[in-house]
Amino acid sequence: MKQSIIVSVDIVLFTLSQSTLKIVLLRRDQEPYAQQLALPGGYLHPAEDRDALAAAERVLREKTGIVSPYLEQLFTFSGGVRDPRGWSVSITYYALVHESLIAPSAGHRFELLAIDALPDLPFDHNRIVAHAVQRLRDKSSYSALPCHLLPPLFTLTELQQTYEHILGTTLDKSVFRRKLPDLDFLEAVPDAIRQGKHRPAQLYRLRPNKQLAIFDKTM
């Protein structure tokens, strides 16, 4: 059985930088689209990769040096026209990391671009990014997902701002705080208080094994 289908993985890696939701892009070193910025991606290696998730972790590590604590399958894009090399399948993933994990290292060069200021990307990468942004926004409204863009300890104000940067909108502080008891994925860290300009703020963290607790999903 001869199918001749190209199978790749591509990764949309989000971070929050300068209060802006950004993604990691790499300049392609090979044709097609050599020298253009594109999503980190690469061929799946059947001899090496256990499955597509392992391939995504490998490609991200090899091409950017980044290991993301959160990596989720997004969607599989496919067809005869998306890649000039032939009928192709791209199993895509999205990742969220705190900015401190994105240190440009020796041998890895990438750029961080704001999601609302992207150039025309090769293949269907703009469509993949749009899909990832939509998923991130949808899922943020009922999960702890945005916490992965924060450092391990954070204040409720920082958490609210992160939700706001993702959703692209301002949230009412009292409504946000009223919702918080439903978010059982959070816990106050005992004796961890940050001294701020105004009054001291309690620090919070994700509960272990509650990284994606869902609320508002029962009738």
Which residues would be at the binding site for a second copy (CB under 8 A)? 1, 3-7, 43-46, 50-52, 73, 75-80, 86-87, 89, 91, 138, 141-142, 163, 167, 171, 175-176, 179, 214, 216-219
Q: Which is nearer to a second copy, 171 or 213 (CB)?
A: 171
**β pairing state of 88-96 and 6-17:** parallel
* Contact of 139 with 146, CB cutoff 8 Å: no
DSSP 153: S
Q: How far is the CB of 18 from a second copy (least distance, A)?
A: 24
Q: How far is the CB of 200 from a second copy (least distance, A)?
A: 26
* Contact of 7 with 85, CB cutoff 8 Å: no
**Between the CA atoms of 108, 114, 119 and 121, what dihedral angle is there, to the nearest 10 degrees?**
60
Q: How far is the CB of 119 from a second copy (least distance, A)?
A: 25
62: tokens are: 């090899």
Q: Which is nearer to a second copy, 86 or 181 (CB)?
A: 86
Q: Work out the number of other CB atoms within 10 angstroms of the CB of residue 185.
A: 21
Q: How far is the CB of 66 from a second copy (least distance, A)?
A: 22
3-state secondary structure of 114: strand
Q: Which is nearer to a second copy, 51 or 120 (CB)?
A: 51
Q: How far apart are CA 182 and CA 177, in angstroms?
A: 10
Q: How far is the CB of 52 from a second copy (least distance, A)?
A: 4
* Contact of 144 with 163, CB cutoff 8 Å: no
Q: Which is nearer to a second copy, 47 or 106 (CB)?
A: 47
115: tokens are: 């999601």
Asked if residue 32 has a cis previous peptide bond (ω within 30° of 0), the answer is yes
Q: How far is the CB of 70 from a second copy (least distance, A)?
A: 17
Q: How far apart are CA 70 and CA 93, in angstroms?
A: 10
Q: Which is nearer to a second copy, 110 or 146 (CB)?
A: 146
Q: Which is nearer to a second copy, 12 or 113 (CB)?
A: 12
